[in-house]
């Protein structure tokens, strides 16, 4: 081997001879240490290493430069593998791993359950788009199965469009993100509230106090499907709340139920420096309390007019509608000093579509068909913390962080 020159980083030529060593079999303590100890007897450089353990079965691959004595190299590794009760494969070739092709993406698949026919269809779709799967790892095994695939050679936008359709056909959620440096930057998560962060619709809960819940719910449903202008529908629904006592707001807040996994998602991502915002077609009198309860950084919502201790049936100021939600997202990003490309938006209704489109990653969460079909990606499992898997965080990491923070 040549003597290294200070300040110079040698580059392995693509035509340089290399050896790929693959060890496989039952996992046991000390395998990696033993393999590298054997390799240290030979004048080689380590170029690449990958190890995987699934249900106690180990696969360890090490790419090294060509040894001077190939026969002794092979004999030493074969002997060590036999002593460990493992199998070894030694393949001689040239160069480093082939260069990653353009269009690198992270593809996350969520299933409950995740069926092999879904994975077959998705991997076939990746191949048909010219993609190659460079790596596959499990992100979570419960309450949903989450699998991440690192893909190169295919256009991320084409992947998202094709794989989302395949996933929908197989009852599986798929999210595609470009695998670039911005993926590691600080992010801002902007969430819708009604039927996203919380279960149910606040305006319908208030309508129950006015005896018109059914009528208001019907208008809400049509607005969320995109059949009615949101601002007009809001004024129509709020008008029916005239005379409802302010105390009803306290009762509604006390009865709110967060979507399963909401606190876990927020707690986990805030540990990593993420910021959060709420943007809602609901009402500040409720949203402000939710933001305080969950430690949310920013919020925007509509304000109910109150007079003499009762609702007047009107809203104060400009309505936070479909366009207003997208505008709020951009404003929150500016205030947080975060690139809009590094925002994540989560919503379920037609009035969330502009916000989902404006965000770097727009996620339709248990959304209406119109929204699911137009969003960049969709999550149709009932757990909001499934979002963290799309951020590259595993279930094991979440649980380890929670355990570390638990004084008991």
Check 48, 96, 169, 192 and give the catalytic one: 192
The answer to whether 145 and 112 are in contact (CB under 8 A) is yes
302, two tokens: 């509509």
Check whether the bond before 143 is cis (ω within 30° of 0): yes
How far, in Å, CA of 262 to CA of 256, rounded?
Answer: 13
How far, in Å, CA of 277 to CA of 294, rounded?
Answer: 11
Q: Which residue has the tokens 């077609």?
A: 281
The helix/strand/coil state of 258 is: strand
pLDDT of residue 71: 95
How far, in Å, CA of 362 to CA of 374, rounded?
Answer: 10
Quick one: 117 exposed, middle or buried, by C-beta within 10 A (0-12, 13-18, 19+)? Answer: exposed
10-residue mean pLDDT profile of the chain (408 residues): values are 46 73 93 92 90 88 93 95 94 69 81 92 94 89 91 90 92 86 78 96 89 86 83 88 93 96 96 95 95 97 95 93 96 96 94 95 91 88 93 91 82
Give the helix/strand (H/E) hosting 111: strand 105-111
Residue 51 burial (CB count, 10 A): 14
Domains 17-94 and 189-375 in one fold: no
What single string gives the DSSP state of each residue in 260-286? TTHHHHHHHHHHTT-EEEEEEEEEHHH
220, two tokens: 């809400």
Quick one: 175 exposed, middle or buried, by C-beta within 10 A (0-12, 13-18, 19+)? Answer: buried
105-185 carries CATH number 3.30.70.260: yes
189-375 carries CATH number 3.40.50.1000: yes
What are residue 300's DSSP bridge partners? 279
Domain residue extents for the chain? 17-94, 105-185, 189-375
Check 194, 348, 352, 385 and give the catalytic one: 194
pLDDT of residue 273: 92
R_g (Cα) of the chain, nearest Å = 27
What single string gives the DSSP state of each residue in 134-192? EEEEEEE-SSSEEEEEEEESS-HHHHHHHHHHHHHHTT-EEEEEE-SGGGGS--EEEE-
pLDDT of residue 216: 86
Q: Kindly report the CATH class assigned to 17-94.
A: alpha beta
How far, in Å, CA of 101 to CA of 99, rounded?
Answer: 6
The answer to whether 166 and 160 are in contact (CB under 8 A) is no
Q: Is 192 a catalytic residue?
A: yes
The answer to whether 193 and 290 are in contact (CB under 8 A) is yes
Q: Distance between terminal CA atoms of the chain? A: 54
Q: From residue 92, give the alpha-carbon distance in Å to each of 14, 96, 161.
A: 14, 12, 39
94, two tokens: 């040239």
Query: Would you say the C-alpha torsion 174, 177, 179, 185 has a positive or negative sign?
Result: negative
Q: From residue 11, give the alpha-carbon distance in Å to each of 36, 95, 155, 256, 271.
A: 22, 11, 29, 59, 38
Q: Tell me the CB-side half-sphere exposure of residue 245, using CA atoms within 13 A.
A: 4
Q: Is 27 a catalytic residue?
A: no
What single string gives the DSSP state of each residue in 310-354? EEEEEEESS---HHHHHHHHHHHHHHHT--GGGEEEEE-SGGGHH
Backbone angles phi, psi at 77, to 5 degrees: -70, -40
Give the helix/strand (H/E) hosting 110: strand 105-111
The helix/strand/coil state of 117 is: helix
pLDDT of residue 8: 44
Q: Tell me the CB-side half-sphere exposure of residue 15, using CA atoms within 13 A.
A: 0
């Amino acid at each position: 081997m040549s003597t290294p020159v200070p300040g110079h980083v040698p580059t392995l030529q693509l035509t340089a001879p290399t050896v790929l060593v693959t060890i496989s079999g039952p996992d046991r303590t000390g395998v990696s240490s033993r393999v590298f100890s054997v390799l240290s007897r030979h004048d080689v450089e380590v170029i690449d290493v990958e190890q995987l353990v699934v249900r106690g079965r180990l696969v360890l691959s090490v790419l090294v430069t060509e040894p001077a004595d190939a026969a002794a190299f092979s004999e030493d590794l074969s002997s060590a593998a036999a002593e460990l009760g493992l199998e070894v494969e030694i393949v001689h070739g040239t160069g480093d791993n082939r260069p990653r092709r353009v269009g690198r993406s992270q593809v996350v698949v969520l299933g409950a359950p995740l069926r092999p026919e879904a994975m077959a269809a998705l991997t076939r779709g990746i191949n048909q788009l010219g993609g190659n799967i460079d790596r596959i790892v499990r992100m979570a095994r419960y309450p949903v199965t989450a699998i991440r695939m690192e893909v190169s050679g295919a256009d991320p936008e084409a992947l998202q469009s094709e794989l989302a359709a395949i996933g929908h056909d197989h009852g599986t959620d798929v999210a595609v993100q470009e695998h670039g440096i911005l993926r590691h930057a600080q992010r801002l998560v902007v969430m819708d509230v009604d039927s996203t962060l919380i279960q149910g619709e606040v305006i319908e809960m208030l309508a129950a106090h006015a005896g018109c819940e059914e009528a208001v719910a019907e208008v809400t449903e049509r607005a969320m499907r995109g059949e009615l202008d949101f601002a007009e529908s809001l004024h129509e629904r709020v008008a029916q709340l005239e005379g409802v006592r302010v105390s009803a707001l306290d009762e509604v807040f006390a009865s709110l139920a967060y979507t399963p996994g909401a606190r876990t998602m927020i707690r986990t991502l805030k540990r990593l420096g993420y910021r959060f915002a709420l943007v809602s077609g609901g009402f500040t009198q409720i949203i402000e309390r939710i933001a305080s309860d969950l430690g949310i950084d920013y919020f925007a919502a509509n304000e109910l007019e109150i007079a003499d201790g009762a609702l007047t049936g009107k809203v104060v100021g400009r309505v936070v509608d479909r366009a207003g939600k997208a505008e709020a997202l951009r404003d929150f990003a500016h205030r947080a000093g975060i690139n809009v490309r590094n925002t994540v938006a989560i919503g379920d209704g037609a009035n969330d579509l502009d916000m989902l489109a404006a965000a770097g990653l727009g996620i339709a969460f248990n959304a209406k068909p119109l929204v699911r079909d137009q969003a960049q990606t969709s999550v149709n499992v009932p757990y909001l913390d499934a979002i963290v898997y799309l951020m590259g965080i595993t279930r094991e990491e979440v649980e380890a962080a929670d355990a570390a923070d638990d004084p008991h």
